[in-house]
Copies of this chain bind each other. A is one copy, B any other.
Amino acid sequence: MSRPSQAKPTTAEPPGVSVIQNQAAAQAAAPAPQQVPQLVPAHPDAAGGKALPPGKMKKPPADKDSEEYRQRRERNNLAVKKSRMRSKQKAMDTQQRVNELKEENERLEAKIKLLSKELSVLKDLFLEHAHNLADNVAPAAGGAEGASPAPTGPAPGGQ
Contact = CB atoms under 8 A, between A and B. Distances in A.
Contact of A158 (B18, B129, B145, B158): B158
Contacts of A38: 35, 37
B119 A39 contact: no
Interface in A56-111: 64, 91, 94-95, 97-98, 101-102, 104-105, 108-109, 111
- A18, A104, A111 pick with most chain B CB within 10 angstroms: A18
A30 interface: yes
Contacts of A20: 20, 34, 36-37, 39
Contact of A115 (B18, B91, B104, B119): B119
The oligomer's copy count stands at: 2
A41 B34 contact: yes
Contacts of A11: 37
Contacts of A18: 5, 23-24, 26-27, 30, 34
A11 B119 CA distance: 58
A6 to B, nearest CB: 7
Contacts of A159: 158-159
Contacts of A157: 158
9 contacts: A5-B41, A19-B34, A20-B39, A33-B41, A37-B37, A91-B94, A94-B98, A108-B112, A157-B158
A54 to B, nearest CB: 25
